């Protein structure tokens, strides 16, 4: 990479001058009316650029040509008049941006995100430019609905797409990028360009070559369903999930997204045989034909696989599930959640734990992804929550999204959401989900978050999309035990389990992550006994007895979400250190505090839940 790409730090925050207030008001009005990309007055636009807060565009960005400059600077630098921009149509603005990108760097590509250069300015700039290009792509081709042909002109469409999305396979015709779909219930392959949801209509999708792959993929997407990724080790736990879905009367189809023959014939045969007596409809979607072989070998591993499931399923609306998730309510009901209906995405919070943090350089990196001043004014790029709307001194928040933003960007709390179950309008959010995929591919981002969890909300935030996070923290589900306390007259309880449970504002238990055994890790008893023989020897007569305890179905008496500022989560050594105790202290021993923090299931509900536990724990 050229040495001149080593960039100066590009974050220069400016306070608004009193004389600039009028221009900012004009800017807000323009944004609200959705016409910011074509302002009526170039003089007004130039003044807004001069007075607006935020960082300047990186000098390698096409937007940098519109940075307000002195007359001498204009002579020395490549500078464009805002008059030119103000009189462009959206199509012309899009052409200017991408034509300038090619002109400034004939070898530009977003592929550089895969490399960690260990230079903050350089790593941040590479990702910032990839994000900026993605925002422009969305404005032009997804939300703008423009065709590649009309915008790119002489620029080769396939080359452009490959540079923008280097994880996609090189192609000469966009129709080459299409997955293979196998219906496990029947063993039949779904015809090419046919959506499983529309087979009865005998309709084939008509691919439009002048449009981007993502425009076509969004149009192709249809209906609702469940999506997941599975490895060979997940066979047993997946069959348990299918039993629970049968028990709950689920009618949503399931798609397992794969990148090649990752599952053995034995795995596929076992699932197919199970489905002969099941109501579930299961498909394998092999998206390897869409993907760059170089990425298949190196980049598309571990947590990144979930983004393949999120992006390359054929549904319009999806619920992403981890294999060890257990739902206690009909999954269709998640689509009726009012927050999901308003925002198009729904996430649930993780355990509230304050002892693990991300790094300062990571926060600097994510801050560098805010739209530049020029991108905001010229193209209308924005984030619903940013460093101006939520500041370090903020103590009141309008919603849970702002609280999570504060926790991450200022408190640097690492764990905020549980991605075991996420509800998404994929068709509506597709470009932001692709941006999220790009974030999780970035070599530096991988050092800053745990897996895919935080990228679900960070991707929506950075893309300027709305999203919702349920306000209740993840809790502990299981048997309620007394908690020994030194203070007389104070009553305490605890639930110790490996599961993270999620409820709603009505204290309805919705789902849990971690299966329904006391410990789901197969070799945990042997490993625990070998590691801590004195600790476990004092509690159990033998390793076999510990294994027996771990194999027991989870007994579900209640749900505790601890007040961590009174008594925080306690991590235990059981189940390879994955067991956590949620303590609850009641200040009045005679008053039962069964509200937001403590739900003791009544006899009828406990019976229903333990029936589900029995179904999940049924052996094949």
Q: What is the pLDDT of residues 457-503, one digit of tens each?
A: 999 999 999 999 999 999 999 999 988 766 656 678 899 999 999 99
Model confidence at 596: pLDDT above 70? no
Model confidence at 94: pLDDT above 50? yes
Span 533-562, mean pLDDT? 94
On whether the CB atoms of residues 519 and 552 are closer than 8 A, the answer is no
**SS3 (DSSP) at 600:** strand
Model confidence at 11: pLDDT above 80? no
Tell me how far apart the alpha carbons of residues 537 and 519 are, in angstroms, rounded to a whole number.
18
Residue keyed to tokens 């599975």:
230
Rounded to the nearest angstrom, the gap between the alpha carbon of residue 276 and the centroid of all alpha carbons in its chain is: 34
Quick one: pLDDT at residue 486?
63
Quick one: pLDDT at residue 125?
96
Residue 582 to residues 191, 356, 358, 497, Cα–Cα distance (Å): 51, 17, 24, 9
The percent of residues in the chain predicted with pLDDT above 70, rounded, is 86
Q: Going edge to edge, which strands form the sheet with 476-478?
A: 476-478, 558-560, 598-600
Quick one: pLDDT at residue 5?
42
Model confidence at 68: pLDDT above 80? no
Tell me how far apart the alpha carbons of residues 242 and 270 are, in angstroms, rounded to a whole number.
12
On whether the CB atoms of residues 389 and 457 are closer than 8 A, the answer is no
Among the ranges 21-25, 361-365, 594-598, which has the highest mean pLDDT value? 361-365
Residue 43 binned pLDDT confidence (cut-offs 50, 70, 90): low
Least-confidence region, from 32-41, 109-118, 544-553: 32-41
What would the pLDDT profile of 279-313 be if each residue is shown by its tens digit? Answer: 999 999 999 999 999 998 887 777 788 999 999 99
Spatial neighbors of 52 by CB under 8 A, at least 6 apart, are 20, 23, 24, 27, 373, 376, 377
β-sheet bridge partners, residue 571: 580
The 3-state DSSP composition of the chain as helix, strand, coil percent (nearest 5) reads 45, 15, 40
Q: What is the DSSP letter of 333?
A: G
Least-confidence region, from 31-40, 438-447, 476-485, 506-515: 31-40
Helix 400-409 / helix 453-463 crossing angle, nearest 10 deg: 110
Span 203-231, mean pLDDT? 92
The percent of residues in the chain predicted with pLDDT above 90, rounded, is 73
Quick one: pLDDT at residue 46?
57
Taking the domains of the chain in order of start, what are their residue ranges?
20-164, 167-336, 476-616
């Amino acid at each position: 990479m050229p040495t001149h790409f080593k960039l100066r730090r590009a974050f220069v925050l400016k306070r608004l001058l009193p004389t600039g207030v009028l221009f900012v008001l004009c800017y807000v009005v323009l944004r609200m009316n959705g016409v910011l990309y074509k302002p009526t007055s170039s003089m007004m636009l130039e003044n807004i650029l001069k007075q607006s807060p935020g960082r300047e565009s990186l000098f390698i960005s096409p937007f940098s040509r519109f940075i307000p400059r002195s007359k001498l600077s204009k002579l020395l630098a490549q500078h464009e008049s805002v008059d030119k921009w103000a009189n462009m149509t959206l199509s012309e603005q899009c052409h200017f941006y991408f034509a300038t990108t090619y002109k400034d760097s004939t070898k530009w590509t977003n592929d550089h995100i895969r490399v960690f250069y260990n230079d903050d300015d350089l790593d941040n700039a590479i990702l910032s430019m990839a994000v900026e290009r993605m925002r422009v792509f969305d404005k032009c081709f997804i939300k703008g609905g423009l065709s590649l042909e009309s915008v790119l002109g002489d620029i080769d469409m396939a080359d452009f797409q490959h540079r923008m999305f280097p994880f996609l396979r090189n192609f000469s015709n966009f129709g080459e990028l299409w997955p293979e779909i196998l219906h496990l219930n029947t063993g039949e392959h779904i015809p090419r360009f046919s959506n499983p949801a529309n087979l009865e209509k005998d309709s084939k999708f008509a691919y439009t070559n002048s449009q981007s792959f993502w425009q076509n993929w969004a149009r192709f997407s249809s209906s609702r369903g469940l999506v997941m990724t599975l490895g060979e080790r997940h066979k047993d736990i997946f069959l348990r999930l299918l039993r629970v879905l049968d028990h709950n009367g689920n009618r949503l189809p399931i798609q397992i997204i794969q990148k090649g023959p990752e599952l053995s014939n034995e795995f596929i045969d076992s699932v197919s045989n199970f489905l002969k007596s099941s109501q579930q409809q299961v498909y394998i979607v092999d998206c390897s034909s869409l993907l760059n072989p170089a990425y298949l070998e190196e980049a598309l591993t571990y947590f990144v696989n979930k983004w393949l499931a999120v992006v390359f399923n054929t549904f319009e609306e999806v619920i992403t599930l981890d294999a060890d998730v257990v739902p206690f309510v009909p999954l269709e009901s998640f689509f009726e959640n009012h927050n999901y209906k308003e925002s198009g995405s729904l996430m649930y919070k993780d355990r509230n734990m304050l002892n693990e943090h991300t790094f300062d350089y990571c926060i600097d990196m994510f801050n560098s992804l805010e739209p530049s001043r020029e991108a905001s004014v010229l193209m209308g790029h924005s984030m619903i929550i940013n460093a101006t709307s939520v500041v370090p001194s903020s103590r009141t928040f309008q919603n849970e999204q702002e609280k999570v933003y504060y926790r991450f960007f200022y408190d640097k709390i690492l764990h905020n959401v549980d991605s075991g179950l996420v509800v998404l309008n994929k068709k509506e959010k597709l470009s932001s989900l692709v941006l999220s995929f790009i974030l999780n591919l970035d070599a530096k981002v991988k050092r800053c978050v745990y897996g895919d969890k935080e990228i679900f909300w960070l991707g929506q935030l950075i893309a300027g999309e709305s999203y919702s996070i349920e306000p209740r923290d993840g809790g502990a589900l299981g048997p309620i035990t007394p908690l020994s306390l030194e203070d007389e007259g104070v009553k305490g309880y605890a639930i110790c389990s490996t599961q993270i449970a999620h409820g709603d504002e009505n204290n309805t238990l919705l789902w849990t992550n971690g299966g329904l055994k006391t410990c789901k890790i197969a070799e945990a008893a042997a490993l625990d006994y070998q590691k801590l023989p004195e600790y476990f020897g004092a509690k159990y007569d033998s390793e076999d007895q510990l294994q027996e305890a771990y194999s027991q179905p989870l007994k579900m008496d209640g749900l505790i979400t601890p007040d961590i500022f009174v008594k925080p989560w306690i991590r235990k050594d059981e189940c390879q250190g994955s067991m956590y105790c949620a303590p609850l202290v009641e200040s009045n021993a005679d008053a039962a505090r069964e509200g937001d923090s403590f739900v003791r299931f009544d006899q009828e509900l406990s019976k229903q839940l333990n029936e589900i536990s029995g179904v999940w724990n049924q052996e094949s």
